[in-house]
Chain A
Amino acid sequence: MKNENNILKWFDNELSEQDIKELKQSEDNNTLEKIAFYAKQMQAPQVDAQKALAAFKERKLTKNEPKVIPLNFKTFMKVAAVLVVMLTSSYFLFFNNNMAFETQIAQNETLTLPDNSEVILNASSKLNYNKKTWKNKRNLELDGEAFFKVSKGKKFTVTTTAGTVQVLGTQFNVKERDNYFEVQCYEGLVSVTFNNETVKLPKGKTFRVVNGTIETVADFNAQNPSWLQDETSFDKIPLSQVVNELERQYDLKVSFDSVDTSQLFTGTFTHKDKNIALQSITIPLKLSYRIEGNQVTLYKYEN
C-alpha cells in the first residue's frame, strides 16, 4: 500500500482537505474511499441503556467493601490491664531487690546479710533491706528487736520508727517496741540518733527510751543479749513492757486485775516454760496469776 502514512492520517482525520484530494488523485483509492464511507454507516446493535441498567440491578451484587474493624476500646483496655498486671507481677517476682524478713510470736531467726553481717531477729519482728543498694549503703529497717553482729565496712544504719542507729563494725542489740526504744552496745561504738539528738554509745552502755523519756541505765557486762540464751533480762523496766515481751515470747494475752503496770521490774524470764516465766515475774512483785487457755490474769494475792 503506497502512501501508507497519509492513508492512516486520512482515516485518523488528521489529513487536510487538500492532501486528501491529492491522495485520491495519486492512485486508485476509490475502494479505500468507499471503505471509509460505508464502514462509517455500520452500527453495533443499540443497547437500551436504561433497560440494561435495570437488568444489571437485578443481579443484586454486593460490594466488596474493605473490612473495617473498629478498635474495640473495651477489649483494648482488657488486654492492656492484663499486660499491666503481668508486667508488674513479673517485676515483683524477678526484679524485687527488697528483702523482707518477719518472725512470728515465739520465733527467732538468724540471717546473714550480703556482707556477712549477722542479724538475729527476736520474736514478732520485721526486717527489710534492699539487696541492690546494699553494696553502697548498708541500710536496714527494723520493727521489733534484733541483735546485730556487723562486719567491718561502710556505715551500717538501722532505721526504726523511734530512732536511727549507725555503726561501722560492732555488735549491738536494737529493741524497738510500742513506746519502747533500746539500743545496747556489746562491742565497738554505736551512734544512736533519737529526736535529732545523737548519742555515742560505747561497749557495755545502754540507750533506752521509755514512753518518750530517755532513761539512764547501769552498765552491763554480758557478751550477748539475754534473749539469745532463750531468756529475757530486764533492768528497772515497767511491768507493762515486761508483759508485752512475755506476750511476744509465749503467745499469751495478759490482763491485769488492779495491778500497777508502771511498777519497775528487774529480773529475767525464760522462753522455755511459761509457768516458770510467769512465776519469775510475779513472785518478786508479790503478784499471782491464773491461766485460762492463753488468757493470763495477774492479780495481787495479798488482798
Chain B
Amino acid sequence: MNENKLCEETYFNNFYLEHVQSASNFAFYKCGDKDGALDFVQDAFSKIWVNCSKIDFTKAKTYLFTTINNLFLNTIKHNKVVMEYAKATPYLDKTNESPDYILEEEEFKKKLQQAISLLSDAQREVFLLNRIEGKKYREIAELLDISQKAVEKRMSGALQILREHIENI
C-alpha cells in the first residue's frame, strides 16, 4: 500500500483548515451546541488521522461528514437548534426604513428562528445547508450520502413547516 497522502502532516493540516468550518457548521445544524459541535468535529478529524492509512484521501471529505453524522447519532441528548443572525444585515426591502417595517421584519426573524428549531434534524440540516452554505441539493445529497430526491423531499417538508408556523403565530 502506498503511503497515503492523508497521513502526511502538511496535507492533513490543509485538509483540516479547509473543512473545519463547514464541518462544524454541519455539526451545529444537527446538535445546536456550539462547543458540542466543535467536539464532534475534532473527534471526527481524530478518527481520520488515526485511520489515515485506511482512508482514500479523495473520499476524506465524505468520510468527515459521515463520521460527524454518526457521532451525532450516538449522542443521546442534544440542544434545541437556535440559529443566530449575522450582525448588521439588511432587511428585505432595503429602502424601507420605517420603524414599523423594521419591527415587523425583526418579528419575522424571531419567528423564523423559532420555526427552524422546530424542524426535524433531517429537515433542518438540509434547509440550513441549502440556505446558509448555499449548497445545491445535489451537493447536499452527496454530502449526506442520500439521494437528491430525498434532499428535495426534506427541503419541501421543511418549507411547509416553516411557512405554517410563521403564518400561524
How many residues from A make CB contacts under 8 Å with B? 37
The answer to whether B29 has its CB under 8 Å from any CB of chain A is: yes
**Cβ-neighbour of A37 out of B29, B92, B130 (below 8 A):** B92
A63-B53, A65-B53 are known contacts. Are A53 and B83 too (CB-CB below 8 A)? no
Q: B residues within 8 A CB of A69?
A: none
A11-B159, A59-B42, A61-B46 are known contacts. Are A45 and B84 too (CB-CB below 8 A)? yes
The answer to whether B13 has its CB under 8 Å from any CB of chain A is: yes
Say yes or no: A1 contacts B131, CB within 8 Å. Answer: no
The answer to whether B64 has its CB under 8 Å from any CB of chain A is: no
Bound complex: CA A209 to CA B158 (Å): 120
Say yes or no: B130 contacts A53, CB within 8 Å. Answer: no
**Cβ-neighbour of A39 out of B17, B20, B116, B136 (below 8 A):** B116
Say yes or no: A52 contacts B108, CB within 8 Å. Answer: no
Interface string of A3-21 (1 = CB under 8 A from B): 0100110011100000000
Say yes or no: A36 contacts B1, CB within 8 Å. Answer: no
Bound complex: CA A40 to CA B49 (Å): 33
The answer to whether A222 has its CB under 8 Å from any CB of chain B is: no
The answer to whether A32 has its CB under 8 Å from any CB of chain B is: yes
Question: Min CB distance, A39 to chain B, in Å?
Answer: 4
Within 8 A of B (CB), among A210-256: none
Bound complex: CA A45 to CA B26 (Å): 11
The answer to whether B16 has its CB under 8 Å from any CB of chain A is: yes
Question: Min CB distance, B26 to chain A, in Å?
Answer: 8
**Cβ-neighbour of B137 out of A12, A31, A56, A59 (below 8 A):** A12
Say yes or no: B21 contacts A61, CB within 8 Å. Answer: no
A46-B21, A56-B42, A56-B45 are known contacts. Are A41 and B159 too (CB-CB below 8 A)? no
Say yes or no: B46 contacts A43, CB within 8 Å. Answer: no
The answer to whether B122 has its CB under 8 Å from any CB of chain A is: no
Q: B residues within 8 A CB of A34?
A: 92, 105, 108, 112, 166
The answer to whether A49 has its CB under 8 Å from any CB of chain B is: yes
Say yes or no: B17 contacts A42, CB within 8 Å. Answer: no
Bound complex: CA A22 to CA B113 (Å): 28
Say yes or no: A44 contacts B17, CB within 8 Å. Answer: no
Say yes or no: B24 contacts A44, CB within 8 Å. Answer: yes
Q: A residues within 8 A CB of B131?
A: 11, 36, 39-40, 42
The answer to whether A47 has its CB under 8 Å from any CB of chain B is: yes
- In the complex, the chain A residue whose C-beta lies closest to that of B113 is A42
Say yes or no: A61 contacts B84, CB within 8 Å. Answer: no
Within 8 A of B (CB), among A33-80: 33-47, 49-50, 52-53, 55-56, 59, 61-66
Say yes or no: A12 contacts B136, CB within 8 Å. Answer: yes
Say yes or no: A65 contacts B7, CB within 8 Å. Answer: yes
Classify the secondary structure of A's interface with B.
Answer: helix
Interface string of A255-289 (1 = CB under 8 A from B): 00000000000000000000000000000000000
Within 8 A of A (CB), among B75-101: 83-86, 89, 92
- In the complex, the chain A residue whose C-beta lies closest to that of B46 is A61
Interface string of B117-141 (1 = CB under 8 A from A): 0000000000110111010110000
Say yes or no: B163 contacts A43, CB within 8 Å. Answer: no
Q: A residues within 8 A CB of B17?
A: 49-50, 53
Question: Min CB distance, A146 to chain B, in Å?
Answer: 70
Bound complex: CA A265 to CA B117 (Å): 131
- In the complex, the chain B residue whose C-beta lies closest to that of A40 is B131
The answer to whether B38 has its CB under 8 Å from any CB of chain A is: yes
Say yes or no: A61 contacts B38, CB within 8 Å. Answer: no
Q: A residues within 8 A CB of B85?
A: 38, 41-43
Q: A residues within 8 A CB of B83?
A: 42-44
Bound complex: CA A43 to CA B52 (Å): 31
Say yes or no: A39 contacts B127, CB within 8 Å. Answer: yes
* A residues lining the B interface (CB < 8 Å): 1, 4, 7-8, 11-13, 31-47, 49-50, 52-53, 55-56, 59, 61-66
List, sorted by A's number, 8 A–B pairs whose CB atoms are closer than 8 Å: A1-B159, A32-B159, A38-B92, A39-B132, A42-B116, A44-B132, A64-B54, A65-B53
Q: Which 4 A-B pairs have the closest CB atoms?
A: A44-B25, A39-B131, A42-B83, A45-B34
Having A1-B160, A42-B116, one finds 15 other A-B pairs with CB under 8 Å, namely A1-B159, A7-B159, A13-B136, A33-B92, A34-B105, A38-B85, A42-B84, A44-B29, A45-B37, A52-B20, A53-B20, A56-B42, A63-B49, A63-B50, A63-B53
